Amino acid sequence: MIIDDDHSGMFVFDTDEKTIVESDRCIEIKILRTSGARGRVCVPYATEDETALNDRDYISKSGEVIFENNENEYVLLMSYKTYVDIIYSFSAKENNRKLSVLIR
């Protein structure tokens, strides 16, 4: 059997949910490139309110992650104000507050 892995791949988070401790000031969100790693690919991402609110509980962030040819992992660093729990989409929790980080 020959597996065709000559395409740009699929992009997923390494876990579905992450909890962050309030004393931490930054979280690492790992994005994985699976089922192919061909070419340079731009993956947009953005935070989204759930029960945590932008500017009150966290600082919103959006941008693009660039995967170079044959690169299959990227660590996105995010900082926050108070702390919350991260679900992928990606959620963050403090006193049951959540936010999502979405890759599109």
Looking at residue 58, what is its pLDDT? Answer: 76
Separation of CA 37 from chain center: 18
* pLDDT of 81 over the 50 cut: yes
- Compute CA distances 71 → 35, 46, 102, 103, whole Å: 12, 21, 20, 17
| pLDDT for the residue numbered 1 | 59
**pLDDT tens per residue across span 22-75:** 667 778 889 999 988 899 999 998 888 888 888 877 778 888 999 999 999 999
The encoded tokens of residue 41 equal: 């690919």
What are the extents of the domains in the chain? 10-103
pLDDT: is 32 or 6 the higher one? 32
CATH class of this structure's domain 10-103: mainly beta
| CA 81, chain centre distance (Å) | 18
